[in-house]
A and B are shown apart, each in its own frame.
Chain A
Amino acid sequence: PPQTPIRAAMTSIQQLRGDLTSSGDQPSTNLATYFKNCTVDPMQAVLLRLETLEQAFSQRFGQAVGPRCTLGCQRFKLGVRLYYKIMEAMLKSEEKRLSVQNFSKLLNDSTFHTSLLACALEVVMATYEESSFKTGGYNHDAAGGDPVKTDLCFPWILDVVDLPAFDFYKVIESFIKAEPTLSKDIVKHLETCENLIMERIAWRTDSPLFELLKQEHGGGAADQVETPAS
């Protein structure tokens, strides 16, 4: 039977939490094995980064949402579970594709981890409709209270974790591939993020894209340098 928007949202939330029940707050045994197989074990760096980003996220979440700042910690914890789950799935897929088990360069890349975590957090906030292109930034209190305006809609998360949109874009497709149970709405949400990045955000003046384009074109020659506007 058709669901009301509130019921649909609550079903989505229950599904997300259910899917992550078996995922721990720490890397699984399999994931820890991938870490140990690295030339440099990234475990400590991963945990330290999560600690730092949890503080940043919770603080900014509280500033945006208001007095219910404890929700920020809950969202982050769910995001971390999803981040670990997706990372493990990605590595399994890469292991099969590339026939390698040492992913030291990838797993010691801070940008990769920040991008993956940001995507997981974006999925969590989209599930709770705190990041929504449809509602224009408003979400309804689950207990049926007054609508509360939030400013958590993408690309809010990029500013919180200090991540260029260009780098965030890289994980989206692999994220969707690694988690086939993502709902149609969430896939659509991520696709909208992709389109926003491709059409607009990746071309902002401070984007790393321009430096990469310069390098790609053999960089250096003054007459080959284009302004961001062009």
Chain B
Amino acid sequence: SHDYHFGLEDHEGISELFDCD
């Protein structure tokens, strides 16, 4: 991960970000 801050929770992913949940 090279110190990148991952902000998405376990229940969040690309589907939610594009309103496909």
Contacts and interface: CB of A to CB of B under 8 A. Distances in A.
Our verdict on whether A and B bind, yes or no, reads yes
Q: Which of B4, B8, B10, B14 has the most CB of A within 10 A?
A: B14
Contacts of B20: 103, 105-106, 109
A127 to B, nearest CB: 15
Interface SS of A by simple majority? helix
A176 B14 CA distance: 12
Contacts, number: 47
Interface residues of A, number: 24
Contact of B14 (A170, A187, A188, A191): A170
A68 interface: no
B13 to A, nearest CB: 6
Given A177-B6, A191-B4, A170 B18 contact: yes
A94 B6 contact: no
Given A103-B20, A173-B7, A187 B1 contact: yes
